Amino acid sequence: MGSRTVIRGRTMAVVLILCACAVFLGSFTWGRYGISLEQMAEILAGRLRGQAADWSNPVETVLLKVRVPRIFAAMLIGSALAVSGVAYQGLFRNPMVSSDILGASAGAGFGAAVGILLSAGTFGVQALAFVFGLAAVLITYVIGALIGRRGGMVTVLGLLLTGMVVSALFGSLTSLIKYAADPYSKLPAITFWMMGGLSAVTGRDLLILLIPGLLGSVPLLCIRWQMNVMCFGEEEAEALGVNVRRIRMVVILCSTLLTASAVAVGGMIGWVGLVVPHMARLLVGPDHKTLLPVSMGLGAVYLLAVDDLARSMFAQEIPLGILTAVIGAPFFLYLLVKGRG
């Protein structure tokens, strides 16, 4: 029985890796402007040999300036949202928790709306979204510390309830900005940003994703075994020698960095941090030692595949946040029904 399980696990791993490679390579060719694998290989080989880019060639322009940044941005955002979702679900011991539970997405959305209203430009909008995403979680933690202390520590319930209130507050402020915005220029821009998308991603945006992504992911990967212990409860974790306060702060800070940077670049892309962790648990179980890295890879492939559909299904691109909700909500409902059965 044990050997069969190992063989089945290895077979599943090989299949998943092959599917991920197929999605990754196919993403360079799919889209309204078709690019063959031969063209892609020729252009990339030329860059590796040090040849100068030929921007008069439309294939090369689309591949290097549009497809490559967009593909890697989708993978970085998907992995960031998935990892933060896993971390929050483990911290709060609640599988219904997602990466925006403490208000990072709502705060980032408000910051982006302010930036668009003030005509701050692309970088200004992203910077304000990132800063307000961090600020929203900071407000949540401070208020939770004031009203939910028990034995000198912030309670999980206090953080959850405060996060809901802060999210609602920033959501209402965003609605107020939309109400006051110019209905012919600012309001459509705010609405489109809120729906999420990667159509305007550039190479610079990859740095905005990569630096917070490393700062957020590496510490979480280093404390995977402590996250396993935290799932037993705070008292049990303390009895086993885990510094609960420090682990909680690391999880919240790292997850906030991941979520705020992802929303700042991609807009409001929901359901990834909720659905992907459940998909990963079906494959490898609840052990964070494997769950966290598998969720990272699965989130990258999942959002990349959804983005391929968003830009390939119709002549006009579908906002990414809409498509993740259309796919994620029924799938999550299926998981709930299956789990109850």
Mean pLDDT by 10 residues, the chain (341 residues): 56 80 90 83 82 75 91 96 95 87 95 95 94 96 78 70 94 96 93 93 92 96 92 83 90 96 94 92 90 94 95 88 92 76 50
**pTM above threshold 0.95:** no
Q: What is the pLDDT of residues 60-102, one digit of tens each?
A: 888 888 999 999 999 999 999 999 999 999 998 888 888 889 9
pLDDT digits (tens, 9 = 90+) for 138-182: 999 998 888 766 545 567 778 888 999 999 999 999 999 999 999
For residues 60 and 154, give the distance between their C-alpha atoms in angstroms, rounded to a whole number: 53
pLDDT at 1: 45
| Cβ pair 245, 275 in contact under 8 A | no
Q: What are phi and psi of 310, to 5 degrees?
A: -60, -35
Phi and psi at residue 150, to the nearest 5°: -145, 110
Task: Quote the pLDDT of residue 186.
Answer: 94
In a 10 Å sphere around its CB, with 0-12 CB exposed, 13-18 middle and 19+ buried, how is residue 242 labelled?
buried
In the chain, alpha helices (H): 2-29, 37-48, 58-61, 68-92, 104-117, 121-147, 156-180, 186-194, 203-222, 224-230, 234-239, 244-266, 272-284, 288-312, 320-340
Q: What is the pLDDT of residue 144?
A: 85
For the domain 2-50+57-340, what is the CATH code? 1.10.3470.10
Residue 6 confidence (pLDDT): 52
Partnered with residue 150 across adjacent β-strands are 153
Q: If 0-12 CB within 10 Å is exposed, 13-18 middle and 19+ buried, where does residue 307 land?
A: buried
d(CA 40, CA 51): 14
Nearest to 82 by CA among 197, 90, 156: 90
Helix (H, G, I), strand (E, B) or coil at 202: coil
Asked if 34 and 311 touch (Cβ cutoff 8 Å), the reply is: no
Please list, in sequence order, all residues whose beta carbon lies within 8 angstroms of the beta carbon of residue 215, skipping any fewer than 6 positions away: 254, 257
